[in-house]
């Protein structure tokens, strides 16, 4: 048995992954593989909470997401990579937990309140959407994870998981550890229009974009809105392209660009071209790995099957303990 602490996290397959996903979570997952016993899953059942009217695309997104993960550096030899729906024990534990979770706990969830207001083009007044934190709790405690890597805005998700685990243990005896939130550092990546990078806003640079597509999208990026002409001084502090330079260009490059922009010695077009070149170069290893996995879909399927069976072996043992604790046998 591994002496490493176990962590678990997942992503909903609702579309292709973009740079926001890479720097918001995926890059941290890759770094954590050597330090933790990692379980990472594709949350296709969670995708149904909002995309239940048109679920047909989810299967395709599952395969593409796994390719993105592998291309970014997740290693099936180091981490357990699996698909949620291939481990049906998640649904069983979700059912048991839903029996003991008070409805007010779900109604006070800040993400639930925000998304009900923000996502006005879908009917989210469903039990599945209200109850998704219970399914999320089942996902986490199924593997008795010690921690969950999250950003600061996701800490409430982990806290409700801790509350549900605590309530189960109080009612039936100690079965589940209470997972801790592991706060991870993330780079600030906005979309082409300076809003949050999102498929919904059509402002994303995807991990699967070709060099030509990246160059085209970078050329459309909003810079300093006050700089109307090439001869006008710019302000890198409010320029989205400059934020990308800090990530993808070497330090000397962006330190040189800073005063050049402020003194109108470099234009936005040239600045974008430099950044696009560096972004494309940084993405080359990922694109090479992506091409290799796309050429061998059977290998991707084998990785999914292997990881899902490995996860299911752990889930079966957990559910044996759960049934024994609540005195329900097979």
Q: What is the pLDDT of residues 174-214, one digit of tens each?
A: 999 999 999 987 777 899 999 999 888 899 999 999 999 99
Domain assignment present for residue 152? The answer is: yes
Contacts 24+ apart (CB under 8 A), 265-273: 267/230, 268/223, 268/224, 268/227, 268/230, 268/234, 268/241, 269/219, 271/223, 271/241, 271/242, 271/245, 272/218, 272/219, 272/221, 272/223, 272/241
Check pLDDT > 80 for residue 111: no
Q: Which of 92-101, 223-232, 299-308 has the lowest mean pLDDT?
A: 223-232
Same domain assignment for residues 31 and 133: yes
What's the pLDDT score for residue 121?
Answer: 65
Same domain assignment for residues 306 and 286: no
33-50 pLDDT tens trace: 999 999 999 999 999 987
Confidence of residue 2 (pLDDT cuts 50, 70, 90): low
What's the pLDDT score for residue 120?
Answer: 65
Q: Which of 50-54, 94-98, 159-163, 310-314 has the lowest mean pLDDT?
A: 50-54
Using a pLDDT cut of 70, give the percent of the chain over it.
96
Same domain assignment for residues 119 and 144: yes
Check pLDDT > 70 for residue 330: no
Same domain assignment for residues 146 and 223: no
Mean confidence (pLDDT) of the chain? 93
Domain assignment present for residue 47? The answer is: yes
Q: What is the CATH number of the domain that holds 234?
A: 1.10.240.10
Same domain assignment for residues 244 and 264: yes
Where in the sequence is the domain holding 276, given as residue range(s)?
211-290
Same domain assignment for residues 176 and 254: no
Q: What is the CATH number of the domain that holds 309?
A: 3.40.50.620
Same domain assignment for residues 276 and 306: no
219-273 pLDDT tens trace: 999 999 999 999 999 999 999 999 999 999 999 999 999 999 999 999 999 999 9
Q: Between β-strands 37-42 and 79-83, what pairing exists: parallel, antiparallel or unpaired?
A: parallel
| DSSP codes joined into one string, 263-300 | TTSS-HHHHHHHHHHHHHHHHHHHHHHHHHHHT-HHHH
Q: Which of 69-83, 112-126, 166-180, 230-244 has the lowest mean pLDDT?
A: 112-126
Domain assignment present for residue 110? The answer is: yes
Same domain assignment for residues 225 and 96: no
Q: Between β-strands 180-183 and 147-150, what pairing exists: parallel, antiparallel or unpaired?
A: parallel
Same domain assignment for residues 218 and 73: no
What's the pLDDT score for residue 130?
Answer: 87
What's the pLDDT score for residue 154?
Answer: 84
Higher pLDDT, 77 or 2: 77
Same domain assignment for residues 36 and 155: yes
- As a whole number, mean pLDDT of residues 106-111 equals 81
Domain assignment present for residue 197? The answer is: no
Domain assignment present for residue 1? The answer is: no
Give CA–CA dist 197/118, Å, rounded. 15
- At a CB cut-off of 8 Å and minimum separation 6, what does 31 contact? none
Check pLDDT > 60 for residue 1: no
Packed helices 44-51 and 58-72: angle between N→C axes, nearest 10 degrees: 130
- As a whole number, mean pLDDT of residues 72-80 equals 98
Domain assignment present for residue 251? The answer is: yes
The answer to whether the CB of 253 falls within 8 A of the CB of 278 is: yes
φ and ψ at 155, to 5 degrees? -60, -40
- As a whole number, mean pLDDT of residues 132-149 equals 97
Give CA–CA dist 254/252, Å, rounded. 6
Domain assignment present for residue 201? The answer is: no
Domain assignment present for residue 156? The answer is: yes
Same domain assignment for residues 77 and 181: yes
Same domain assignment for residues 83 and 170: yes
Check pLDDT > 70 for residue 128: yes
Q: How many domains does the chain have?
A: 2
């Amino acid at each position: 048995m591994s002496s490493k602490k176990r962590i678990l996290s997942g992503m909903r397959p609702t579309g292709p992954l973009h740079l926001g996903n890479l720097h918001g979570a995926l890059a941290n997952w890759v770094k954590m593989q050597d330090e933790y016993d990692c379980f990472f899953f594709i949350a296709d059942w969670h995708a149904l909470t909002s995309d239940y009217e048109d679920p047909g695309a989810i299967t395709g997104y599952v395969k593409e997401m796994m390719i993105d993960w592998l291309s970014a550096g997740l290693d099936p030899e180091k981490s357990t990579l699996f698909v949620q729906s291939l481990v049906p024990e998640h649904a069983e534990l979700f059912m048991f937990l839903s029996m003991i979770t008070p409805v007010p706990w779900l109604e006070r969830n800040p993400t639930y309140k925000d998304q009900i207001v923000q996502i006005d083009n879908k009917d989210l007044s469903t039990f599945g959407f209200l109850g998704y934190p219970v399914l999320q709790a089942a996902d986490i405690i199924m593997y008795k994870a010690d921690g969950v890597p999250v950003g600061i805005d996701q800490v409430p998700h982990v806290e409700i998981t801790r509350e549900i685990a605590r309530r189960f243990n109080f009612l039936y005896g100690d079965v589940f550890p209470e997972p801790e939130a592991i706060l991870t550092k993330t780079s600030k990546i906005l979309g082409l229009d300076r809003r949050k990078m999102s498929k919904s806003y059509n402002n994303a640079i995807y991990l699967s974009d070709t060099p030509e597509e990246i160059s085209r999208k970078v050329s459309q990026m909003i810079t300093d809105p006050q700089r109307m002409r090439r001869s006008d001084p710019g302000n890198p502090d409010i320029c989205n392209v400059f934020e990308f330079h800090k990530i993808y260009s070497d330090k000397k490059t962006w330190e040189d660009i800073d005063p050049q922009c402020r003194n109108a010695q470099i234009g936005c077009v040239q600045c974008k071209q430099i950044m696009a070149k560096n972004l494309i170069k940084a993405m080359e290893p990922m694109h090479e790995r992506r091409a290799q996995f796309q050429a061998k879909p059977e290998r991707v399927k084998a990785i999914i099957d292997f990881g899902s069976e490995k996860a299911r072996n752990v889930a079966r043992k957990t559910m044996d303990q759960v049934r024994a604790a609540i005195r329900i046998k097979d």
